[in-house]
Structure 1
Amino acid sequence: MQISGSGPIYDAETLEARPYRLPAGNVYETRFSEDGSHMAFNLGDSRRTSDIWILDLETGESRQLTHSHQGVPAEEMVEPELIRFTSFDGLSVPAFIYRPKEIKQGMKVPVVINIHGGPVEQYQPVYQPVMQYLVYSGYAVIAPNVRGSSGYGKSYTALDDVEKRLDSVKDIIALRGYIASISDMDTTKIALYGGSYGGFMVLACMAFYPRLWAAGVDIVGIVNFVTFLENTASYRRAHREAEYGSLENDRELLEKISPIHSIEKIEAPLLVIHGANDPRVPFSEAEQVVARLEEVGRHVELLVYPDEGHGITKLRNRLDAYSRTVEFLDRALA
């Protein structure tokens, strides 16, 4: 549920709607008390960390339970703009655009397309510290909810299943075309950034459409769906095969959509970041990328964190990885 300021809550038995006035911001991750008298929820927005609130459903009064620390003042953050662009097949795809606070007249800024993982996830206008850091560093950031994302209905979520996998990649290509219509963005300096499934999207875009990008950042991404499914934790395999296709029935398709078989076509510099203990997307995926690109003489850099798994979670590693990511982008897009 995403509400800004007010909205109805429905009685599950009577379907009666009752309007409530809520604090300004975006409401999500709701939980109801066992007796149905209260609702707990997270409240935040794109410039502030989220906090837990509780709503009394009888009186309509809300009160804040937690007060999260935020080191950077909200005034230093930017609000994203929600836009929609048209993909190759006419599909309307939503995206959030984060712009640097001050763009001088006639200036064009470099762009980072930030692709979420999942793929059944979605970007929302909530606090995104990495995107805010990239914006503070001088980059416009575009966060699309390509086909396969959640939050837009079951049909939208299923638009990238199995044999439709690369249609989501085409959404990013369409977004790149849309960027050309934005006067303050530099189409010669567009980088890709993504983690997990988003990392696959980065690698697929760079391998299958190599001349469109100035740089890429792949974080714990999939490069070979066959080896990924063979080596991922067994408890996840069946779940992932339902989304991507099975080793038994769809191996040929899995080979076709895997960027590893076109990885040598990548032209732009690539930064690969991975946790050595990743049980979901094993480190062997990153090793394949780096080995193949080094073999053909491409510019590839590797950051490995021995004490990380699927993603970068420890504060010291985040501070290191994200600052080195910006340094990499600054060099690549100079």
Structure 2
Amino acid sequence: KNWDIWGTYFTENGTYQVTYINEDAKNVIEIKNVGTGENVVLPSLDGLDVTSVDFSDDEKLMRFYAGGSHTPSNLFVYNLETKEQTQLTNVLNSEINGEDLVNAEVIRYKSFDGVEIPAIYYKPHQASADTKVPALVWVHGGPGGQSRQNFSSFIQYLTNHGYAVLAVNNRGSSGYGKTFYQMDDLNHGDKDLKDCVEGKNWLAQQPEIDANKIGIIGGSYGGYMTMAALTYTPEEFAVGVNLFGVTNWVRTLKSIPPWWESFKDALYKELGDPYSADSVRLKEISPLFHTDKVTKPLIVLQGSQDPRVLQVESDEIVAGVKKNGVPVEYVLFEDEGHGFVKKENQIEAYSRVLDFLDLYLKKDKATPIEEGDK
């Protein structure tokens, strides 16, 4: 297969050429000795992938990060002459047993029209045909992002608590060539959403999955896909987790600040120009105008300081869905932007999502969570 090259550069004295390749949602690094034309053999680490490298000025030492979907990356130093390697960090929290973490696997499934969709599957250790587990379809940000085979504390947290996660790279994702990347242009909320539904269908066919307990989760564009799923395919997913998702494309595309001009041009090309006839379609694909269709439980998480997806997006979607008498929870962080970076807020966000899933997807809890309870 041919994969995207992310970048290539020569080291200080021109001894080595380093190339980063995005191979099936994973960093693969090739280091070529320019003089001999041979590739340098990278140090092998049991079950870990070298994800980034750098060289000392004299080019005798190489530092590298190595990790995987089942472990955060650690820093190593490698002596190119003696082939000695030294691990400098051990970043996994000492309270966590590394064997409890799950190694993801790349799977592929056919979508409704035969297009092959890559996805990354996290299966809880305890999941089996005898012990079926609930599951989530995870949609990345973007549009045009990519779920990758790297460590996600949030996904591992969910998997550790008994939820299988399928991170889908629906059409329009990067990393699989230009044709695939452009497949969702001016088509959001349609074929990309159908890819997510087909991901749910793939999960439902796995013997270890409880087919009636599959939800959808995502942030930013993934949050939009969550709301699109609950709105336009209201019977497909049992619950939705919307992390700061776009719900009114007209407003979001009009509110892009001037310092994101190049970003704006790319989004207009992909989604449409809200100041043109495209606005009709943009309104049609915006869940905010169709909240009366939502019937399944929803949790929305939002940062007040988010410049990209304004708080009003989440305020209004919560108000709209509540009118249907559907269970809705809203978690607002006053001190966060587009994504939650403060550790205490991450802990609260993950915990609130887990409580919501345990109640409405796994249906483990006896008493419902009261509005406003932490």
TM-score (norm 1): 0.89
TM-score (norm 2): 0.80
Alpha-carbon distance in 2 for matches of 1:67, 1:20: 22
User: How far 1:242 moved relative to its partner?
Assistant: 3.0
User: How far 1:240 moved relative to its partner?
Assistant: 2.6
Corresponding residue number in structure 2 for 1:136: 160
Contact 1:49 / 1:127 at 8 angstroms: preserved in 2?
Answer: yes
Contact 1:2 / 1:27 at 8 angstroms: preserved in 2?
Answer: no
Confirm or deny that 1:308 pairs with 2:331: no
User: How far 1:112 moved relative to its partner?
Assistant: 1.2
Corresponding residue number in structure 2 for 1:21: 42
Corresponding residue number in structure 1 for 2:67: 44
Confirm or deny that 1:208 pairs with 2:229: no
Alpha-carbon distance in 2 for matches of 1:283, 1:198: 16
Question: In the alignment, residue 174 of structure 2 is paired with which amino acid?
Answer: S
Confirm or deny that 1:70 pairs with 2:92: yes
Question: In the alignment, residue 43 of structure 1 is paired with which amino acid?
Answer: A
Provide Cα deviations, 1:118-163, integer angstroms capped at 9, x if missing partner.
2322222221111111111111111111112121112211111223
Confirm or deny that 1:317 pairs with 2:341: no
List gaps (5 residues or longer) in structure 1: none
Confirm or deny that 1:241 pairs with 2:268: yes
- Pick closer, same or farther for the CA change 1:303–1:154 going to 2, 3 Å: same
- Pick closer, same or farther for the CA change 1:295–1:330 going to 2, 3 Å: same
Confirm or deny that 1:126 pairs with 2:150: yes
Alpha-carbon distance in 2 for matches of 1:254, 1:266: 19
Alpha-carbon distance in 1 for matches of 2:51, 2:57: 19
Provide Cα deviations, 1:220-255, integer angstroms capped at 9, x if missing partner.
100110011122433333343233221223212211
User: How far 1:261 moved relative to its partner?
Assistant: 2.2
Alpha-carbon distance in 2 for matches of 1:6, 1:241: 32
Residue aligned with 1:95, SS: strand
> Of the candidates 18, 31, 34, which is equivalent to residue 9 of structure 1?
31
1:246-325 paired onto structure 2 within 5 Å: 246-249=273-276, 250-325=278-353
Corresponding residue number in structure 2 for 1:117: 141
Alpha-carbon distance in 1 for matches of 2:60, 2:186: 43
Residue aligned with 1:112, SS: strand
Question: In the alignment, residue 355 of structure 2 is paired with which amino acid?
Answer: E
- Pick closer, same or farther for the CA change 1:35–1:93 going to 2, 3 Å: farther
How many residues of Structure 1 are paired with residues of Structure 2 in the alignment?
Answer: 332
- Determine what percentage of the aligned residue pairs are the same residue: 33
User: How far 1:30 moved relative to its partner?
Assistant: 4.8
Alpha-carbon distance in 2 for matches of 1:15, 1:193: 49
- Pick closer, same or farther for the CA change 1:172–1:44 going to 2, 3 Å: same
> Of the candidates 245, 255, 263, which is equivalent to residue 231 of structure 1?
255
> Of the candidates 153, 161, 168, which is equivalent to residue 185 of structure 2?
161
- Pick closer, same or farther for the CA change 1:232–1:8 going to 2, 3 Å: closer
Confirm or deny that 1:107 pairs with 2:131: yes
Alpha-carbon distance in 1 for matches of 2:271, 2:82: 45
Contact 1:6 / 1:22 at 8 angstroms: preserved in 2?
Answer: no
Moved more, 144-153 or 22-31: 22-31
List gaps (5 residues or longer) in structure 2: 1-20, 364-374
Identify, as 1 or 2, the structure richer in helix.
1
Alpha-carbon distance in 2 for matches of 1:150, 1:274: 25
Q: Which protein has the larger Cα radius of gyration, Structure 1 or Structure 2? A: 2
User: How far 1:34 moved relative to its partner?
Assistant: 7.9
Residue aligned with 2:356, SS: helix
- Pick closer, same or farther for the CA change 1:6–1:80 going to 2, 3 Å: closer
Question: In the alignment, residue 287 of structure 1 is paired with which amino acid?
Answer: D
User: How far 1:172 moved relative to its partner?
Assistant: 0.5
Question: In the alignment, residue 243 of structure 2 is paired with which amino acid?
Answer: I
Moved more, 138-147 or 265-274: 138-147
User: How far 1:69 moved relative to its partner?
Assistant: 2.2
Corresponding residue number in structure 2 for 1:217: 241
Corresponding residue number in structure 2 for 1:174: 198
